[in-house]
Chains A and B, each alone.
Chain A
């Protein structure tokens, strides 16, 4: 511990990161063939003028995260929190700047890999494999995942297609699959508030467990209470810029002043 205090071990270093989304076919040039042609002929210069809109989601953000930290990301909707996390996970290319990481950070979530037309059972396998687990690992954890989700509490639902599930049931199964794997750098994007009260309690306990195994945890949430409960450092993003970076209480006090009132928590 003494050593860690003297020489902090960084796990994520973000160096003046800019992230830009390009959206085709919007804005002034929408649907206009001449605008599209103009864009092709004139190349990049005409991009803004004709149909391609650039959304500058994250602007010049720098921070260093150290091993053992739990960092909360806060900010109003559309401030670039999730985008920044995706870039840290190496899922979204950065426009400028660099992000250095220790190992492979992972986002908690497998929603995109699951298919509604398949049974819950096959989705457990598919989701597990998509997260990089081996077939044996999924098989070993299968019962644990199903039990945790509580899908089978009201009958044999795991062998039904996921499209027949209620939204709450589907969310529970998704969380259970996602939480089945341990990660070095774990990033949680507002995953705490799924399902009914009893499931929420169970998932909070599971996240605490994951935190223990993970080196560094990032948590995006609009719930200031859950940020206070889990994080000891907070990054406040606003309009893609890093507004404040510091201890949870200091930053949250400023943030609550900014949003007017105590927030949701």
Chain B
């Protein structure tokens, strides 16, 4: 080799403790930084923004890869949520008769199922965002928040497919097209922020304790049953006026219920504003900001520990 290079004398080389001087001081003198240290919050936000194309490409890639081996291919993007809705309709609409007193029950139910599935799958994917991508985390350098955000984005793309199916269902059941459908966009944006935030929280928990992924389905199923996915919260509340006030408030402020009912209000004409809790948009924005910002900071706090296995 032509380069003139430093080779330490063998004597000092065999005792690695005998470095020329204090390593920390040497590093500081040459402006070296600690490898794998957590960046400051603003720097982290900048790094994440710089990786936005990776986040979207990763989400799209995951979504496309999902059904690429199936014969029907991407048809499953729409068929899976439809089948889901059909099962819930059979159980709750036909067998249990939850539909009584709810006008346009099928659109009501399908909207609820799709919007809930968005939150549910974002959180489930979030629990495995780090622990399931250890190979990636240990091979490449990028802000780790890109993973839970990307998984949440994948679910948003999935939901957009479901929404296309939903619009067909709505039209089939004679729900008129109206200007209020435009409200679906801000509602979805807020829900996405909320989902991404919660996904980041469970991603950190799941990275430290993979057992969370086993526990989460039970938590989510309980959450689904109290969120009014297949029944009308408003109708049950008016039927049980004697319920303790705390339960009432909890049922109404439940973020999943808020986002579900907002979507129903936007899309279904027989779902009136009177069925929404008070200050519903404030609640929706509040939950989104709380989960989004809080989840991001919580996730960032452990940035340097991801990948330890």
- Of chain B, the residue at the smallest CB distance from A185 is B35
Shortest distance between the CB of A185 and any CB in chain B (Å): 10
* Chain A residues positioned under 8 Å from B24 (CB to CB): 15, 98, 100
* Chain A residues positioned under 8 Å from B50 (CB to CB): 132
Residues facing A in B127-162 (CB within 8 A) are 133, 135-142
- A111-B139, A117-B69, A246-B8 are contacts. A135–B26 as well, Cβ < 8 Å? no
- Structural contact, B23 and A101, CB atoms closer than 8 A: no
* Chain B residues positioned under 8 Å from A86 (CB to CB): 138
Interface string of B50-63 (1 = CB under 8 A from A): 11011001100110
- Residue A122 interfacial (CB < 8 Å): yes
With beta carbons under 8 angstroms apart, the residue of B32, B57, B138 that contacts A10 is B32
A83 to B68 CA separation, bound complex (whole angstroms) = 34
- Residue A144 interfacial (CB < 8 Å): no
- Residue A13 interfacial (CB < 8 Å): yes
The interface size of chain B toward A, counting residues with CB under 8 Å, comes to 53
A109 to B141 CA separation, bound complex (whole angstroms) = 11
Residues facing B in A6-27 (CB within 8 A) are 8-16, 21-24
Residues facing B in A45-91 (CB within 8 A) are 60-64, 66, 68-70, 86-91
- Structural contact, B54 and A130, CB atoms closer than 8 A: yes
With beta carbons under 8 angstroms apart, the residue of A22, A70, A101, A250 that contacts B32 is A101
- Structural contact, B5 and A115, CB atoms closer than 8 A: no
- Residue B215 interfacial (CB < 8 Å): no
**Interface secondary structure of A, over-half rule:** mixed
- Structural contact, B139 and A91, CB atoms closer than 8 A: yes
- Of chain B, the residue at the smallest CB distance from A36 is B211
- Structural contact, B13 and A246, CB atoms closer than 8 A: yes
Shortest distance between the CB of A117 and any CB in chain B (Å): 4
- Residue B250 interfacial (CB < 8 Å): no
A247 to B6 CA separation, bound complex (whole angstroms) = 9
* Chain A residues positioned under 8 Å from B31 (CB to CB): 102
Interface string of A228-260 (1 = CB under 8 A from B): 000011000000001011110010000000000
* Chain A residues positioned under 8 Å from B307 (CB to CB): 91-93
A43 to B69 CA separation, bound complex (whole angstroms) = 44
* Chain A residues positioned under 8 Å from B309 (CB to CB): 21-23
* Chain B residues positioned under 8 Å from A102 (CB to CB): 30-33
- Structural contact, A91 and B65, CB atoms closer than 8 A: no
A69 to B4 CA separation, bound complex (whole angstroms) = 9
Interface residues on A, range: 35 or more
Residues facing A in B276-307 (CB within 8 A) are 304-305, 307
- Residue A126 interfacial (CB < 8 Å): yes
* Chain B residues positioned under 8 Å from A16 (CB to CB): 17
- A62-B19, A89-B35 are contacts. A118–B61 as well, Cβ < 8 Å? yes
- Structural contact, A126 and B13, CB atoms closer than 8 A: no
- Structural contact, A87 and B35, CB atoms closer than 8 A: yes
- Structural contact, B57 and A125, CB atoms closer than 8 A: yes
* Chain A residues positioned under 8 Å from B33 (CB to CB): 100-102
With beta carbons under 8 angstroms apart, the residue of B32, B138, B142 that contacts A100 is B32
- Structural contact, A161 and B68, CB atoms closer than 8 A: yes
- Structural contact, A232 and B136, CB atoms closer than 8 A: no
Residues facing A in B42-100 (CB within 8 A) are 50-51, 53-54, 57-58, 61-62, 64-65, 68-69
- Residue A29 interfacial (CB < 8 Å): no
Residues facing B in A92-112 (CB within 8 A) are 92-94, 98-102, 104-107, 109-112
A133 to B3 CA separation, bound complex (whole angstroms) = 30
Shortest distance between the CB of B8 and any CB in chain A (Å): 6
* Chain B residues positioned under 8 Å from A62 (CB to CB): 16-17, 19, 23
With beta carbons under 8 angstroms apart, the residue of A68, A69, A101, A111 that contacts B35 is A101
A60 to B16 CA separation, bound complex (whole angstroms) = 9
- Structural contact, A113 and B136, CB atoms closer than 8 A: yes
Which residues from chain B sit less than 8 Å from chain A, CB to CB? 1, 3-8, 10, 13-14, 16-17, 19-20, 23-24, 26-27, 30-37, 50-51, 53-54, 57-58, 61-62, 64-65, 68-69, 133, 135-142, 210, 304-305, 307-309
Q: List 23 A-B contacts (CB under 8 A).
A: A13-B26, A63-B16, A66-B5, A66-B6, A90-B37, A91-B139, A93-B307, A98-B34, A99-B36, A101-B34, A102-B33, A111-B139, A113-B58, A118-B64, A122-B61, A122-B64, A129-B51, A132-B50, A134-B53, A135-B53, A233-B5, A244-B13, A246-B14
10 extra interface residue pairs, beta carbon distance < 8 Å, beyond A99-B34, A246-B7: A12-B35, A66-B6, A68-B3, A89-B36, A91-B307, A93-B308, A100-B35, A101-B35, A111-B139, A112-B135
